[in-house]
Structure 1
Amino acid sequence: MTQPATRPRLIATDLDGTLLCQGGTVSERTAAALLAAEEAGLRVVFVTGRPPRWMRLLSEHIGGHGVAICSNGGAVYDVRRELLLESFPLSGPDALAVVDRLRERLPGIAFAFEYPAGYAREPQYEARMWGDDEAHEVAPAEQLLAAGPEGHPGPALGSYKILAKHPGLDPDAFLAEARAAVGPLAEITRSSPIALLEISARGVTKASTLARWCAELGIDRSEVVAFGDMPNDLEMLAWAGTSYAVANAHPEVLAAVAQHTLSNQDDGVARVIEELITRATV
């Protein structure tokens, strides 16, 4: 393992496919490594595509600050207090324009929306993810984004992430087509093995929100060690002073990141954290 040029002060790690084992669990070794990092004075922040509502099960591992960067940078969330600290939502006009452009180019596409009070989806968007059985509104995207009676906003206005599924496209081809359709209007990425896209406001990525949070703490990018596995991690991995791709990462991530560690199933993140702590105390 190449030692960071600057002594790390913060560890920024993706969750699913990176830190967490299959099924979304935290192994004993990883839990111990996270605790040891905190005790050694290293901050650990989870930087994830998960929405805030999916973070409750990880509260005991979140570290002393209790903060996670969720929805690919769209939300900063205090997990213990279940409190949204900041959000960077798509504007209503931009969200509608994204939906219109993607519908025109990719017939058969279906949408869902993550917003502070929960989520909403179109009828054809199959709800199969953890937590999707919670009560939510089901309606066409245009209705969910429209102003209701007396000007009250639809439930999806103020979304910090749009989700889009397609029944027949290859996931990487879906991403390329969507980016071509939307252009600079929004950020489009993916973190799922299926044809599922994650769409954030223009300029909002894991990297942008992590950089903002680090600046507030007085932490330079050279003092950050980051871990990831999917295209939605690429900006963060490029921004951090030191970055690692887990062995099971998407080929694009493995190609872009010089340093690799073991897979999520083999506690790859924990292994690097253990070595960082050992070197910091020698």
Structure 2
Amino acid sequence: MRDHGSVTSPTPGPRTPAPSAPTPRLIATDLDGTLLHDDKTVSPRTVAALAAAEEAGIEVFFVTGRPARWMDVVSDHVHGHGLAICGNGAAVVDLHGGDGGHRFVKIRELTVPDALDVVRILRATAPGTTFAVERTGGLHHEPGYPPLHLDPGECVAPAEKLLAPDFDVADQPVLKLLAYHPELDPDTFLSLARAGVGDRAAITRSSPSALLEISGPGVSKASTLAMCCAERGITPTEVVAVGDMPNDMEMLAWAGTSYAMGNAHPEVLASATARTATNNEDGVARVIEDILAAHVPAR
């Protein structure tokens, strides 16, 4: 979702060990700025760690703000279950969904009336905001919305048109509304939007720019991860979560053990129970290796 290299954060120090906890049954990890290197690749060390965790019976869930169509970079590294949580919790996707593609397993949509309310509020409280609409089939955006993403918008029109009942793909659920402001500080924009929108929607961010990600009320990485864990009989104390940006904070708070990346946003560094190395130093792989060393008998 972002070029994490442009985020300013404190110089990472040595890793902080997590408190003792039960043997984890699930590891939940963000992707950009966390599992992936800045060049958007998965290192050989991380590939090996992911496979070792699954072999040891510990499920790994990728929990990301990315849409499902951006998951090719990691689809080969989801073992067994094949599931990932995308769109900040708006969708659970089977990356091994057949025909070389993905399949939506669970959708938690942002309703059109709520999306229109958010557009109206942000146009009034933050003039100059431009919008994009992420549906299950792709991204659609306003003429002034900048090319921040990996793929072009399929349709360019005002947000009200993109959310109209006669829009060409109005039958596709809305997963996220994206709001961009060219001048506001990112955290200031986030605070302003949350104050204005209230409980009509969940608002977070994962970009170094003033780009907000807006989901349905109560939809977050944490709440969808909790649903997936409940279906498996997994409790929060049996979950280890790793992340780097504000959209990870609820997930890190929910999990029994949480790690902030060494390159994480300052608020994430302050809120996690432990700290690992940066994404470019394979911080997630180090977490997994430490877990296996502590909880899985050597062969």
TM-score computed with the length of structure 2 as normaliser: 0.90
Amino acid at match of 2:42: V
State the shift of 1:12 in Å: 0.2
Q: Per the alignment, in what secondary structure is the counterpart of residue 76 of structure 2? A: helix
Q: Per the alignment, in what secondary structure is the counterpart of residue 61 of structure 1? A: coil
CA offsets 1:82-110 (integer angstroms, 9 cap, x no match): 10111111111111001000100001101
Question: Identity over the aligned pairs, expressed in percent?
Answer: 57
- Runs in 1 of length 4+ with deviation above 6 angstroms? none
What is the count of residue pairs matched by the alignment?
277
| CA root-mean-square deviation | 1.4
Amino acid at match of 1:256: S
Distance 1:257 1:60 in 2: 29
- Among 101, 113, 121, the residue aligned to 2:141: 121
Amino acid at match of 1:104: A
Residues 1:54 and 2:70 aligned together: yes
Q: Per the alignment, in what secondary structure is the counterpart of residue 138 of structure 1? A: coil
Aligned CA distance change for structure 1 residues 157 and 143 (closer, same or farther; 3 Å): farther
State the shift of 1:125 in Å: 0.6
TM-score computed with the length of structure 1 as normaliser: 0.95
- Among 60, 66, 77, the residue aligned to 2:82: 66
CA offsets 1:105-131 (integer angstroms, 9 cap, x no match): 00110111111111111111112321x
Give yes or no for contact 1:113–1:156 (8 Å, CA) kept in 2: no
Residues 1:93 and 2:136 aligned together: no
- Among 233, 239, 243, the residue aligned to 1:218: 233
Q: Per the alignment, in what secondary structure is the counterpart of residue 120 of structure 1? A: strand
Q: Per the alignment, in what secondary structure is the counterpart of residue 214 of structure 2? A: strand
State the shift of 1:68 in Å: 0.4
Equivalent position of 1:107 in the other structure? 127
Q: Per the alignment, in what secondary structure is the counterpart of residue 89 of structure 1? A: coil
Give yes or no for contact 1:92–1:157 (8 Å, CA) kept in 2: no
CA offsets 1:183-229 (integer angstroms, 9 cap, x no match): 11110000011111000000000000000000111111110000000
State the shift of 1:240 in Å: 0.4
Q: Per the alignment, in what secondary structure is the counterpart of residue 80 of structure 1? A: coil
Aligned CA distance change for structure 1 residues 180 and 153 (closer, same or farther; 3 Å): farther
- Among 183, 187, 192, the residue aligned to 1:168: 183
Amino acid at match of 2:286: R
Aligned CA distance change for structure 1 residues 248 and 60 (closer, same or farther; 3 Å): same
Distance 2:20 2:237 in 1: 8
Distance 2:87 2:20 in 1: 28
State the shift of 1:281 in Å: 2.1
Residues 1:199 and 2:246 aligned together: no
State the shift of 1:3 in Å: 4.8
Uncovered stretches (5+) of structure 2, i.e. residues with no partner: 1-16
Equivalent position of 1:138 in the other structure? 156
- Among 259, 264, 277, the residue aligned to 2:279: 264
Q: Per the alignment, in what secondary structure is the counterpart of residue 5 of structure 1? A: coil
Residues 1:83 and 2:87 aligned together: no
